[in-house]
Amino acid sequence: MRAVRKTLLLAAAVVLLAGAWLAYFAARPVHLPSTPYQFTVRPGASLKAVARQLAADGVVSDSHSFWILGRLLGKATAIQAGTYRIDTAITATQLLDKLARGDVVLVEILFVEGTTLHQWLAQLAQDPQVRQTLAGKTEDDLRSILGTDGQSVEGWLFPDTYRFTPGASDVEILRHAHAAMKRRLAQAWEERDPAAPVASPYEALILASIVEKETGVAAERPIIASVFANRLRIGMRLQTDPTVIYGMGERFDGNIRKRDLAADTPWNTYTRDGLPPTPIAMPGADALRAAMRPQRTPYLYFVSRGDGTHEFSRTLEEHNRAVARYQLGK
């Protein structure tokens, strides 16, 4: 009987010591090999694997204790993949909470209004934080991946700042941008002016892309949109250089010449009536609104003043005088 009592007392002492050690381990700040310290949890990694990784880096002194603590706190199956950063002192308990919340490092990528699909793909390909999956894919492949219903991907990605975990794929980022454009376009279409000369959301997207490329000053977007809307209403050709440049593709060397304006392509709005067949860039929210709610003006022409703004005219005679003043210096 005395032996049994002694065994029980010994077991109780072991449990108390283990509990005391675990309490100490849970409350003690972990060791940071560097400040900040970053580590990555792979998808599907178990708490035991993460504990071994942290112990190997010297962050925790005992991987087994970290694993047991996670089990006791109910965090063992809640660990989320991603890259984590620790900037200040943190306890093992706080670290487990961080892992369970998925408090991962996010990186940013900014896509600017008016950029093209070609530019987006080049930007993604050059970003070391992005996992590359599109190498060798054609635009037809990308249409299928994003589900644009056979329409060009051009115009269908919303320019914005996107935050993602390091290692996110290029396709994942493009899907977010495509979903954002669908939402923005649908909202702008619901709020459109019924008199706007666009018969579908896609036509509005095309017009918005032209407005985006022609605008240097944000406040002018609704006025520039009014010029194109007025031209569409009377059957006048849009005659806008950015569409010609888009149709030229890699032939464009930074200069547009008279022969380029006369060379017919599906996007040449000097040689063809109406809107081009696809957007020519990725329009932002303001350009979408301007295309579907253009300002009511009598203008049919505009010319650059050379400072980012434009001179707007009602007649060709007025326009020619503005060209002489601002472009020819007369």
Which tens digit of pLDDT belongs to each residue from 246-261?
Answer: 999 989 998 899 999 9
Residue-number span of the structural domain to which 259 is assigned: 193-326
Domain assignment present for residue 257? The answer is yes
**Whether 51 and 175 share a structural domain:** no
Task: Give the whole-angstrom CA distance, residue 240 versus residue 238.
Answer: 6
pLDDT exceeding 90 applies to what percent of the chain?
77
pTM of the model: 0.82
Q: How far apart are the first and last CA of the chain?
A: 116
Which one of 128, 153, 185 terminates a domain?
185
Handedness of CA 276, 280, 284, 287 (dihedral sign): negative
Please tell me the total count of domains within the chain.
3
5: pLDDT strictly greater than 90:
no
The CATH number of whichever domain residue 77 belongs to comes to 3.30.1490
**Whether 235 and 320 share a structural domain:** yes
pLDDT at residue number 42? 87
* Pairing of the two strands 161-164 and 310-313: unpaired
Which tens digit of pLDDT belongs to each residue from 170-228?
Answer: 999 999 999 999 999 999 999 999 999 999 999 999 999 999 999 989 999 999 999 99
pLDDT at residue number 327? 78
